Structure 1
Amino acid sequence: MKRLVSILFGGLVAVVAVVGYQWYGYVANTDTPFDEVGIDLNNMMPGPVHDYGCRRLKETFGAKTLPPYGCADGTGRGWK
């Protein structure tokens, strides 16, 4: 039983690490804010993490482009 719990915990840590790495790669990129996987990952993150991702994207792409889905204000044309 102890071995099973260790394996499951290790698998959970691996999944969290991979998802976190992909999410951070998206919010720290300088190419485009419109990566579909990155947008979905950012929208699945809890509130403060999602807000941090949107702030990072706004700092990088603010005046250059429209915000990606999930980071737009109510009009869809401005950043949150």
Structure 2
Amino acid sequence: MRRTDGARRRLGSGAVSIVVAAILVGALTLTGILGWKWYSHVTAGSSPYDEIGIDVNARLPAPIREWGCARIMERFPRAVPPYGCQNGQP
């Protein structure tokens, strides 16, 4: 049985809204997970060299990155600063 052009269903605005909402919820969830991972890395991590924490910290804006680096250096004063926290790095 073939459908004609008139019988085809199009995505309505309700379906598009659901897709957009799902994308936004996914983006917010990912942001929250990475934000919490970064925050726990700089305030309570067992090592200053957590790969995900270092990667997230290195990509943050300078004021937030500097705050995170200061917390890490307070907690691990004798450790070599991780990537993103060393002098001369952007």
Fold shared, TM-score > 0.5 on shorter chain: yes
| Cα distance between partner residues in 2 of 1:30 and 1:18 | 15
Q: Over alpha carbons, which structure has the higher Rg?
A: 2
Contact 1:27 1:53 survives alignment (8 Å): yes
Segments of 4+ moved more than 3 angstroms = none
Residue-by-residue CA offset, 1:14-39 (whole Å, 9 max, x unaligned): 01011101111111125221122211
1:72 paired with 2:59, answer no
Q: 2:42 aligns with which of 4, 17, 27?
A: 27
Unpaired stretches in structure 2, ≥5 consecutive residues: 1-15
| Cα distance between partner residues in 1 of 2:36 and 2:74 | 20
Contact 1:27 1:56 survives alignment (8 Å): yes
Q: Which residue of 1 aligns with 2:22?
A: 7
Residue-by-residue CA offset, 1:19-60 (whole Å, 9 max, x unaligned): 101111111125221122211111111222211110111111
Unpaired stretches in structure 1, ≥5 consecutive residues: none
TM-score with structure 1 setting the length: 0.79
Q: How many residues get paired?
A: 74
